[in-house]
Amino acid sequence: MAAISAQLASFKSFSSLLNDKKCSRFRCQIKSFGNQHSNWSVEFLSGKESVHLIRNSSPPISMAASAAGSAVKPAKKVCLFYCAETEVLAKRIAAESDAIELRSINWRTFDDGFPNLFIPNANGIRGQNVAFLASFSSPAVIFEQLSVIYALPKLFISSFTLVLPFFPTGTSERMEDEGDVATAFTLARILSHIPTSRGGPTSLVTFDIHALQERFYFGDTILPCFESGIPLLKNRLQKLPDSDKISIAFPDDGAWKRFHKQLQHFPTIVCNKVRIGDQRIVRIKEGDATGRHVVIVDDLVQSGGTLIECQKVLAASGATKISAYVTHGIFPKSSWQRFEHDNGGQPEKGLTYFWITDSCPHTVKEVKCKRPFEILSLSGSIAAALQV
C-alpha cells in the first residue's frame, strides 16, 4: 500500500501540471504493483474530479503467458535404490528433496558366496523414474551391483539413472606396451550395455573422471553426465577467514588441464615432477607461494606421495598455510594416515585442511572426525543431477 500511495502522489502532481495546460484526460497503464501481475489503468480527469485507479477484470494475454511461463516446474519424482556402502550418502540425497524416495534391495548371498538378490515391490516402480547409487569400491562388489543395474531398467520403469560418484578404473586407461589392458575402457563398455528403459538410454552421473579421454569411452547407448566436486570446494574456500589469500596449486600439468578453468579466479601455482638420477622430485614450475594459503587440487589421491612432496616444496617456498582437496580420497591400505595436521599454521609439518568428498564411502568412515580431514558431501549435487 505504501508503494501504491507513493505512485498516486506522483500521478496527482503530474495531473496538476496537465490541468494547467488545459488537458482534459491522460491515461497510462501500470503492469504490476509489487508481485501482483495485473493490468491497472490510471485516469487523470480535469476539474475537481479525483484520480481513478482501476484494476481491469483480466490481465492481457501477454501478461498471462508470462505468468504461466514463470510457474515453478514440479520436481521429478525419483525412486533411489542404493547398495550397503552408499546407504549413508543415499539418505543425505533423499534429505535434499522431498521428490526423492529411498528404496532398498535385499543383498543376500547363497552358501557358495554368489549373490542372491531381491528387489522388493518390483511392480511398485512401474512407470517411475528410477536411480541407483553405486559404489564400485572393489571387484568383489561390482558383479552384484551390475546384476541389479541390469535388472532395474527391465521393470517397465519410465527412466533409469546410474549414479556412480567415483569411476574406479580411471587411472588404468593407458596402453603403453603390448599386452597392457585398459580396464577403464572395459568398465565403460560394460556400463554402455545397460538395457534401455521405456524412456530410452540409461543416464550415468559421475564426478571428476580421471582422464579427459575417458569421456569418449562410453557408447551411444548410455548418456554420461560428467559432474565436478570443485563447486563444493569453491563454496568452502569462500567461508575461510583468509579467503582473500588463497592460491591454488596443481601437482602436475594434468591437474591444471582438468581444473584450471573452474578455478581461474584464484592465483595459480603449477608444480611438476623432474627426474634426477633414480629420483623424481617435485618442483614449482610457475607461480609464487609466498605469504599465501595454498590449496593443492587434484581429482584423486592414492598413496599420497605426490601431495606430500608438493606440500614440502610449497612450505619451503614461503606458503603460510597449505591445504589439499581431492574429489576422490581412495587411500588404499589406510594411506591417509600419512597426512598430519599442521598444528595451527606450521605448513612444513602438515596440512591445515584436507578436503575430500563422500564419493568413496570406506574412506569417509576411516577419516571421519580426524584432522586435517573434512568431508564435502556430494548429496546436493547428486540430488540436483537427478532432476535433469
Which of 130, 145, 139 lies closest to 84, judged by CA?
145
What gap in Å lies between CA 134 and CA 4, rounded to an integer?
A: 56
Q: Judge whether 257 and 212 are in contact, CB under 8 Å.
A: yes
C-alpha cell at 300: 584423486
Q: Judge whether 103 and 80 are in contact, CB under 8 Å.
A: yes
What gap in Å lies between CA 374 and CA 368, rounded to an integer?
A: 7
Q: Which domains does the chain have, with CATH numbers?
A: 78-227+382-386 (3.40.50.2020), 230-357 (3.40.50.2020)
Query: Which residue positions in the chain have pLDDT lower than 50?
Result: 8, 11-12, 14-26, 30-65
pTM value > 0.75 = yes
Which of 259, 267, 270, 215 lies closest to 233, judged by CA?
259
pLDDT on residue 211: 64
pLDDT on residue 281: 84
CA atoms within 13 A on the CB side of 19: 15
Q: What are the residues whose beta carbons fall under 8 Å from the beta carbon of 212, sequence distance 6 or more? A: 257, 258
pLDDT on residue 17: 45
Tell me the DSSP string of 70-124.
TSPPPPPPEEEEE-STTHHHHHHHHHH-TTEEEE--EEEE-TTS-EEEE-TTGGG
Q: What are the residues whose beta carbons fall under 8 Å from the beta carbon of 14, sequence distance 6 or more? A: 26, 44
